[in-house]
Amino acid sequence: MPTLTIREAIRLGLDEALETDPSVFLMGEDIGTYGGAYAVTAGLLEKYGPDRVRDTPISEAAFIGAGVGAAAGGLRPIVELMSMSFALVGFDQIVNMAANLRYMSGGQIKAPMVIRAPTGAGMQLAATHSQSFETWLAEVPGLRVVAPSTPYDALGLLRSSIKEDNPVIYAESAGLYGASGETPAEYYEVPIGSAKVCRSGDDATLISYGHGMPILYESAEILAARGVSAEVIDLRSLSPIDTGVLVDSVQKTGRVLALDTARRSGGIMAEVTATLQEQTSDWLDGPVVRIGAKCAPWPYNREMEQGSLPDAQDVTGMLSATYDL
């Protein structure tokens, strides 16, 4: 199978959508001549021209709103934000308009659009450029929210997102653009709302998404050296959440830790752990454990930023303290 980075997998998905579907177009700040803040759209302007790859003014409120209008009119826009932090400027368009159009019109109007954005800390982009608001947006009815952690999932989820008739928030972990992996040459899709068991185990269930997944893989190796078998699950979709896969795993292992590289307070793992507490209490050997980033503005200083993020030592230490693993 070909090996791609996440950046290349997303570019491939955008390229094939522009090639095969005339209703698809891209828009965002510096996505054309500059090729995008993270070089994801490099070369697409030259291939498809300014009608299909549109550079926009520096106004998220304006171009997200234009995307909502285009989607309601029958097109399938893919809107790129330079940072998930900047979704705040367009929250009215995303939350009040895009998410509610289909319901408020009784299904007569749809908003089939994808809003792509790099998300998360760890890149020394400081407080206003390191937020993970996909966790907020996952709470909004009418939105779908996905977050790939591998090139395979990045391409498969993007294909599903572009076909989805509801608006999709496509959260791209900024620190994973260069992560590589095998990606089949034949066409495939990853359904929205499907979690993935990435590593089977019997002693504990570890759950995360996006940038948290490399931390869980490292944690699982540390635990394996202790003779502990950890099952690792990638949510992939934050809305809807694949509760069935999570429940099945916890019923098998009896122990669970949920990791969020966004802030612990109010993060998506609060929803995950509450659901598991409700649905798996008869199988649990101890309390559901939740780890997240420090509740403080993201520092620019690298050492301070890394100290704010959870790591494998936090995961294994918490499991040891809670379950004696």
Three state DSSP letters for 146-215: ECCCCHHHHHHHHHHHHHCCCCEEEEEEHHHCCCEEECCCCCCCCCCCCCEEEECCCCEEEEECCCHHHH
Alpha-carbon gap, residue 192 to 293, rounded angstroms: 26
For residue 306, give every residue at least 6 positions away whose Cβ sits within 8 Å of its Cβ, in sequence order, or none. 122
What pLDDT is attached to residue 172? 98
DSSP one-letter code for 93? I
Instruction: Single out the catalytic residue among 8, 29, 60, 271.
Output: 60
Residue 23, class by beta-carbon neighbours within 10 Å (0-12 exposed, 13-18 middle, 19+ buried)? middle
Neighbours of 12 (CB within 10 A): 18
Alpha-carbon gap, residue 167 to 112, rounded angstroms: 5
Three-class SS state of 100: coil
Three-class SS state of 4: strand
Q: Which amino acid is at 227?
A: G
For residue 93, give every residue at least 6 positions away whose Cβ sits within 8 Å of its Cβ, in sequence order, or none. 61, 64, 65, 67, 68
What pLDDT is attached to residue 281? 94
**Superfamily the domain 3-182 falls into:** Thiamin diphosphate (ThDP)-binding fold, Pyr/PP domains (3.40.50.970)
Neighbours of 251 (CB within 10 A): 15
Q: In the chain, which segments carry CATH 3.40.50.970?
A: 3-182
Instruction: Single out the catalytic residue among 129, 134, 211, 305.
Output: 129
pTM for the full model?
A: 0.96
Q: How far is CA 32 from the centre of its chain?
A: 24
Question: Domain 196-323, CATH 3.20.20.20 — does that match?
Answer: no
Q: Which of the four pLDDT bands, split at 50, 70 and 90, describes residue 182? A: very high
The 10s digit of each residue's pLDDT in 68-92 is 999 999 999 999 999 999 999 999 9
Alpha-carbon gap, residue 247 to 230, rounded angstroms: 15
Q: In the chain, which segments carry CATH 3.40.50.920?
A: 196-323
Indicate if the pLDDT at residue 5 is higher than 90: yes
E strands present in 10-107: 24-28, 53-55, 76-80
The 10s digit of each residue's pLDDT in 98-133 is 999 999 999 999 999 999 999 999 999 999 999 999
Q: Which amino acid is at 9?
A: A
Between strands 114-119 and 256-263, the pairing is: unpaired
Indicate if the pLDDT at residue 198 is higher than 90: yes
Indicate if the pLDDT at residue 323 is higher than 90: yes
Beta bridge partners of 259: 291
Q: How far is CA 153 from CA 24, 44, 157, in A?
A: 21, 21, 6
Indicate if the pLDDT at residue 266 is higher than 90: no
For residue 301, give every residue at least 6 positions away whose Cβ sits within 8 Å of its Cβ, in sequence order, or none. 124
Q: How far is CA 295 from the centre of its chain?
A: 20
For residue 19, give every residue at least 6 positions away whose Cβ sits within 8 Å of its Cβ, in sequence order, or none. none
What pLDDT is attached to residue 55? 97
Give catalytic status of residue 129 as yes or no: yes
Alpha-carbon gap, residue 293 to 229, rounded angstroms: 25
Give catalytic status of residue 221 as yes or no: no
Q: Which of the four pLDDT bands, split at 50, 70 and 90, describes residue 1? A: confident
Neighbours of 270 (CB within 10 A): 16
CA atoms 214, 219, 225, 231: torsion sign? negative
